[in-house]
Amino acid sequence: MSQRSATPEKAPLVLVIDDDASLRTRARFELMAAGLRVVEAASGEEGIRQVAEARPDLVILDVQLPGLDGFETCRAIRALPSGQDVSILMVTASDDLEAVESAFQSGATDFATKPIHWRLLRHRARFIVRAGQTFRRLQGALDGLSRSEQRLSDAQRLAHVGNWEWLSESDRMLWSEEAFRILGHYPGDLEPSLEVLRAAIHPDDRALFEKALGDALASRAGWSIEHRLCSPDGRIRFVQHQGAVDVDETSNELRVLGTLQDVTERRQTEEKIRQLAFYDSLTGLPNRRMLRERLEKTLRYATDRSLEVALMFVDIDRFKWVNDSLGHSVGDQLLSEVAARLVDSLRTEDGVFRRESPESHRILSRIGGDEFVISLLLKDGVGNASKVARRILGRLAEPVVIEGREIAVTASIGIALYPSDGLDVDALMRQADAAMYNAKTLGRNRYQFYTPDLGEAAERALSIQTGLRRAVEEDAFDLEYQPQIDVRTGAALGLEALVRWNVPGRGPISPVEFIPIAEESGLIQGLGAWVLRRACRDCRDWQQAGFPDLRVAVNLSPLQLRRADIVAQIAGCLEETGLAPSALELELTESALLEHTSTVIRNLEQLREMGIRLALDDFGTGYASLSYLKRVAFDSLKIDRSFVRDICVDAGDRAIVSAVTAIGRTFGLHVVAEGVEDEAQEALVRQEGCDAMQGYLVSKPQPIAKILDLLRARAAARDCGGGRLG
């Protein structure tokens, strides 16, 4: 039985032939993530039918198959009219060189070895698909061009396209007239050879060409690369270099056909346009236009993942005095030095700030005069913005010497946060600008967060930290619980504990605000221990009240997980409250797993050995999901609410939910959909195979006083065959 993916129809199609269902599921997930459509077959016979009917762009074929083995299947595919040009990637054992040789003899394009490196497979699949498409276009073009050599020569000269041909066994090579010109020679100046062609390629790019040629000869596939040429007169030129491999009909030799197109002018024009349109001419930093474009993407990214963004306005104090007193030349040099120091201040954990790295969502821009703007994606809370601001102020405070004159530099920084201070670029720019002017008003050389009452930001943060310390000492928090229910039976499986803080005289403070401060100050240790004790005690009480199978889920912070004594602390809590380890589920985010890996893994293994359940929360919003599913014995997988929210209207989100659920089944995990708010979402998460759900459709978080009534109402509704809690 074949299975087709839900990727858009125009994407290239990959056929995966393997009798291992879990491997097909994993391959489907990885290939869909690479933007490819996928169809599956469990046997060679079924795969041959799929090639004839679906006409895939790439076949990934396992050697070990029941019935027809991989080699027989490959030969049968090549015998089909629709299988002659399809790329075939055969999967063999890592040490089976004989199988690799047999794969190529059977007609394979390339091979991969087990265990499969999935990330590499994604890139290879995309490359092989592109190479096949390029090869077919090039073959068609060369066939047509061979019918009119004169028109080819004229067209090549006009389009700056030259072609060459190389016979591998005799090492004979032919160049067109335009190929000579592109390589910096006149026809007849020298004897064409592969060595002369190699020598013309820029030394830093030769390995790229040699790999492309070597891969093409090994796999009979085409290539398309862009690289530099060094002309005899010293000029550097850019070329688009494409090639394909076939067999010469006359000599029966392996023949390589290549085309070279001079794209230097295009590259130079594109770069000039890009620089003028998107970059500041003095500092080379992105300008206001690029800032807006990149920031809009960052805000969409943050919205999808429920993250915060800090927008920072950095204004050089008394810069007008420098310009007026020392001249614009000194002012320009000062701005360039400030830009360099800002770059240094925004270094990442590996010590580098990459200006051209949109995926990092760190933006540094000069928007005019002495104003710079910085955007930061806050994955670890607003404390990170404060840390960066302090680093900037310290770096700028170091003396600057220009033309023998020492200049003291300070800056005022205003910070606005998304989404709390504004929901779009314009609003955030206004608020950050207002906060910056407030910093100047308060004496310059400082940073200020935007608040409706500018000037209270720092005091509020300090007040929250002081109040947190007192609240931890006095157990002044509350817990609310949100149920998780079985999507098939409606039974309440457990409850997630959510901490709440209601300050007398001030009212409730959002966890989004106080949790980051607790983590930054280290108070999360005491707060986390309190939540754990209280949740275990409450769960034990509910079990004794008639719900013996109920379990409780508690969030464990990264700081707690890295503690050497966390296992002993949790064991002591279970012993004190009398709760069985199997009734406790610890929820971990991916960020908790990314640092101090050896300590974290060791702690998780010991907790798992105790019988405590482990859940990976917000699955898919970080970077370590799949690798940690292999390394850590998780029990549950929680699909982040950002994917569930638009599941009814966004085919991409539905495909992600489907793929994540399939991965959960492959790893034997209990899959929970978070954020289910209506019946349509409920129907789809059930249809996609989720085991449990959590969200406002079932119940919003409830105080402890209402939990027993909620559980009894849920049990009664289930016994009656219907009903829903709100």
CA 697 to chain centre: 30
State yes or no: pLDDT of 202 exceeds 50: yes
Q: pLDDT band at 115, cuts 50/70/90?
A: confident
Least confident segment among 22-31, 495-504, 517-526, 709-718: 517-526
* Mean per-residue pLDDT of the chain: 83
pLDDT, position 349? 42
Give the integer Cα–Cα distance in Å for 521 and 519: 5
pLDDT in tens, 338-393: 999 998 888 754 334 444 444 557 889 988 888 999 998 887 667 788 888 998 99
pLDDT, position 410? 87
Give the integer Cα–Cα distance in Å for 569 and 15: 50
Q: Taking the CB of residue 422, how many other CB atoms lie within 10 A of it?
A: 20
pLDDT, position 160? 58
Are 7 and 32 in contact by the 8 Å Cβ rule? The answer is yes
Q: pLDDT band at 533, cuts 50/70/90?
A: very high
Q: What does DSSP assign to residue 242?
A: E
C-alpha distances in Å from residue 614, one per residue of 492, 533, 588, 660, 716? 18, 17, 8, 17, 29
Specify the pairing of strand 584-588 against strand 613-619. Answer: parallel
pLDDT in tens, 629-687: 777 889 999 988 888 988 888 888 888 889 889 988 888 999 999 999 999 999 999 99
Average pLDDT over residues 678-698: 93
DSSP string of 315-360, one letter each residue: EETTHHHHHHHH-HHHHHHHHHHHHHHHHHHT--TTS---TT-GGG
Are 598 and 566 in contact by the 8 Å Cβ rule? The answer is no
Phi/psi of residue 444, nearest 5 degrees: 65, 175
Structure-model confidence comparison of residues 608 and 85, the more confident one: 608
Specify the pairing of strand 492-503 against strand 478-486. Answer: antiparallel
Average pLDDT over residues 698-716: 91
Are 251 and 170 in contact by the 8 Å Cβ rule? The answer is yes
pLDDT, position 97? 66
CA atoms within 13 A of residue 587's CA, in its CB half-sphere:
23
pLDDT, position 169? 81
Average pLDDT over residues 387-408: 85
Q: pLDDT band at 173, cuts 50/70/90?
A: confident
State yes or no: pLDDT of 281 exceeds 50: yes
Q: Taking the CB of residue 318, how many other CB atoms lie within 10 A of it?
A: 14
State yes or no: pLDDT of 523 exceeds 80: yes
Q: What does DSSP assign to residue 400?
A: E
Least confident segment among 20-29, 315-324, 587-596: 587-596
pLDDT, position 704? 93
One-letter amino acid for residue 421 of the chain:
D
State yes or no: pLDDT of 8 exceeds 60: no
pLDDT, position 458? 45
Average pLDDT over residues 313-339: 83
Give the integer Cα–Cα distance in Å for 262 and 265: 8
Q: pLDDT band at 208, cuts 50/70/90?
A: very high
pLDDT in tens, 28-67: 888 988 889 999 999 999 999 999 888 999 999 999 888 8
Say which residue the tokens 């407030």 belong to.
Answer: 438
Q: Coil, strand, or helix at residue 15?
A: strand
pLDDT, position 329? 86
Give the integer Cα–Cα distance in Å for 11 and 458: 51
State yes or no: pLDDT of 151 exceeds 50: no
Beta bridge partners of 502: 508
State yes or no: pLDDT of 146 exceeds 70: no
pLDDT, position 152? 46
State yes or no: pLDDT of 424 exceeds 80: yes
| Domains of the chain: residue spans and CATH | 13-130 (3.40.50.2300), 148-268 (3.30.450.20), 281-452 (3.30.70.270), 461-719 (3.20.20.450)
Structure-model confidence comparison of residues 439 and 581, the more confident one: 581
Supply 689's token pair: 């195979």
State yes or no: pLDDT of 262 exceeds 80: yes
Average pLDDT over residues 71-77: 91
Supply 516's token pair: 């980051």
pLDDT, position 172? 86
Q: pLDDT band at 623, cuts 50/70/90?
A: very low
CA atoms within 13 A of residue 258's CA, in its CB half-sphere:
27
Beta bridge partners of 13: 37
